[in-house]
Chains A and B, each alone.
Chain A
Amino acid sequence: MSDPVNTLVHREAIRELIARIGRNLDAKKFDDVVESFSTQGSYTVRAYSPEINKHMVWMSASREQLHRLLRDSVEHVHDLAERTHQINVDQISIEGDRAEANTTFSLFRTNLRGQSELFAVGHYRDQLLYSGNHWLICNRTVEVRTRMFTVPTPLPI
Chain B
Amino acid sequence: MKSSLSWDGAPDLPPTHYVNNRIYTDPQIFEEERLKIMASTWRLACHESELPDPGDYRATEIAGIPIVILRGEDCSIRAFFNVCPHRGAKLVRDERGNAKRGMQCFYHLWTFSLDGKCTSITRGKGYENCGLDREKVGLRVVKTEVFCGLVFVCLKDDVPPLGKFLGGMADHIKAHLGQDELEVFHYHRAIINTNWKLFVDNNSELYHEFLHVLNRRTAVAHKSYHDRSWILYPGSHNIIQQGVIHYDSFGLDQRTEGTLPGMHPNGMVVMLLFPDVMINIRATVMRIDTMTPIAPDKTLVEWRGVGLKSDTAEMREMRIRQHNEVWGPAGRNLPEDMAAVGTQWETMVHGGSKYSIFAREEGLKPQDDSNLRAFYQQWSKHIGHSPNDPFGLYKTESDGNRDKGIVHV
> Residues of A at under 8 Å CB distance from B?
45, 47, 49-54, 56-60, 68-69, 72, 75-79, 147-154
- Chain B residues with CB under 8 A of A60: 320-321, 324
A58 touches B335 (CB 8 A): no
- Chain A residues with CB under 8 A of B336: 76-77
Binding site of A, secondary structure by majority: helix, strand, loop or mixed? loop
- Chain B residues with CB under 8 A of A51: 50, 58, 95-96, 187
Nearest CB in chain B: distance from A86 CB, A: 20
Q: Decide yes or no: A52 and B335 within 8 Å by CB, A59-B330, A60-B324, A75-B213 being known contacts.
A: no
Q: Decide yes or no: A59 and B324 within 8 Å by CB, A75-B213, A151-B335 being known contacts.
A: yes
In the complex, whether B226 has a CB less than 8 A from a CB of chain A is no
State in angstroms the CA–CA spacing of A23 and B192 once bound together: 28
A148 touches B191 (CB 8 A): yes
Q: Say which residue of B324, B330, B339 sits within 8 Å of A77 (CB atoms).
A: B339
Nearest CB in chain A: distance from B284 CB, A: 16
A58 touches B95 (CB 8 A): no
State in angstroms the CA–CA spacing of A154 and B329 once bound together: 7
State in angstroms the CA–CA spacing of A152 and B337 once bound together: 10
A50 touches B95 (CB 8 A): yes
Closest-by-CB residue of B relative to A73 is: B332
- Chain A residues with CB under 8 A of B187: 49, 51-52, 54, 56
A154 touches B96 (CB 8 A): no
B335 touches A78 (CB 8 A): yes
Binding site of B, secondary structure by majority: helix, strand, loop or mixed? mixed
B329 touches A149 (CB 8 A): yes
The 5 closest A-B pairs by CB, nearest first: A59-B330, A152-B329, A77-B336, A51-B95, A49-B187
Q: A51-B50, A59-B324 are in contact. List 13 more A-B contacts (CB 8 A).
A: A47-B188, A52-B184, A56-B185, A56-B320, A57-B320, A58-B188, A58-B324, A58-B330, A148-B188, A148-B189, A148-B190, A151-B339, A152-B329
Q: Say which residue of A50, A56, A76, A152 sits within 8 Å of B186 (CB atoms).
A: A56
A154 touches B184 (CB 8 A): no
State in angstroms the CA–CA spacing of A147 and B331 once bound together: 14
- Chain A residues with CB under 8 A of B190: 148-150, 152
B355-372 interface with A by 8 A CB criterion = none
Nearest CB in chain B: distance from A66 CB, A: 11
Nearest CB in chain B: distance from A107 CB, A: 13
- Chain A residues with CB under 8 A of B213: 72, 75-76
In the complex, whether B251 has a CB less than 8 A from a CB of chain A is yes
In the complex, whether B89 has a CB less than 8 A from a CB of chain A is no
Nearest CB in chain B: distance from A112 CB, A: 12
**Would you give the 0/1 interface string for B373-409, flagging 1 where the beta carbon is closer than 8 Å to chain A?**
0000000000000000000000000000000000000
State in angstroms the CA–CA spacing of A119 and B164 once bound together: 44
Closest-by-CB residue of A relative to B331 is: A154
B332 touches A53 (CB 8 A): no
B335 touches A76 (CB 8 A): yes
In the complex, whether B221 has a CB less than 8 A from a CB of chain A is no
Q: Decide yes or no: A147 and B335 within 8 Å by CB, A51-B50, A51-B95 being known contacts.
A: no
In the complex, whether B338 has a CB less than 8 A from a CB of chain A is yes
In the complex, whether B135 has a CB less than 8 A from a CB of chain A is no
- Chain B residues with CB under 8 A of A77: 211, 335-336, 339-340
State in angstroms the CA–CA spacing of A111 and B191 once bound together: 17
A154 touches B50 (CB 8 A): no
Would you give 24 A-B contacts (Cβ < 8 Å), ordered by A?
A45-B330, A49-B187, A51-B95, A52-B50, A52-B187, A53-B96, A54-B187, A58-B188, A58-B324, A59-B328, A60-B320, A69-B332, A77-B335, A77-B339, A147-B188, A147-B329, A148-B189, A151-B338, A151-B339, A152-B329, A152-B331, A152-B335, A153-B330, A154-B331
